[in-house]
Amino acid sequence: MGIQIPLTDMNTSEAGIVVNLLGGRGMNNRLKSLGIRPGVKVTKISSTFMRGPVVIQVGNAQTALGFGISYKVIVEVER
C-alpha cells in the first residue's frame, strides 16, 4: 500500500495509480475522456515551476493538465 498524494506532488518520472478525482461531474467527464480515471496508471513527465501545467503520460498518450485540475487528481505512489 502506497501513499496517496495529488498529482502535483509527484516527482518527475514517478508513476502511480489514480485512486480518486476530486471534482464535479464536468471535470470528471473531461478527465475520463482523456483516459484519466480511477485504476489507471499515470506517469508524471514534467511540470512547470510555480503552479504551471503538469504533463502526464496515460498509456501511449501525453497530455498537459492545469495546476488546479492536477491538484484534484489523487494518485497512489510507492515511496
Mean per-residue pLDDT over the chain, rounded? 94
Domain assignments of the chain as residue spans, ordered by start = 3-77
| DSSP assignment letter at 11 | P
Q: What is the pTM of this model?
A: 0.91
Average pLDDT over residues 2-22: 96
Average pLDDT over residues 59-71: 95
Residue with cell 506532488: 9
Class of domain 3-77: mainly beta
Q: Give the pLDDT confidence score for residue 48 in this predicted structure.
A: 84
Cα 35 to Cα 29, 30, 59, 66, distances in angstroms: 10, 9, 8, 16
Neighbours of 55 (CB within 10 A): 17
Average pLDDT over residues 7-14: 95
pLDDT digits (tens, 9 = 90+) for 28-63: 999 999 999 999 999 999 988 788 899 999 999 999
